[in-house]
Amino acid sequence: MKLFTDSDHKKRFMKTWLPVMVGIAWAPIIWILLIPLLSPILYALSSSWPFTQGVILLIVLFATYLLLKLFRRLGTKFYSNNQ
């Protein structure tokens, strides 16, 4: 059983959903990097772990978004149809 009927359908699927999969894969890595760096500072300022985790979650989502935007821009720069 083939998942994709033709190569055009496969390319459209990968172009649409590959950045989402990359974001899902990289978000926990960014989270693991930011927790030891930012949580002591944020906890000292707020004295609340839920607030600290919420702020770090927002930072992780924003950083993931920026990285995916950068990767898309670099991908279109290097793999354009003008070559």
Angstrom distances, CA of residue 61 to CA of 38, 55, 66, 71, 81? 15, 10, 9, 15, 31
Write down the domain spans for the chain. 36-70
| Pair of tokens at residue 62 | 């924003």
| Pair of tokens at residue 66 | 């920026």
**Comparing 2 with 69, which gets the higher pLDDT?**
69
pLDDT of amino acid 81: 60
pLDDT class for 48, splitting at 50, 70, 90?
very high
pLDDT at residue 55 is higher than 90: yes
The pTM assigned to this predicted structure is 0.72
Rounded average pLDDT over 8-31: 82
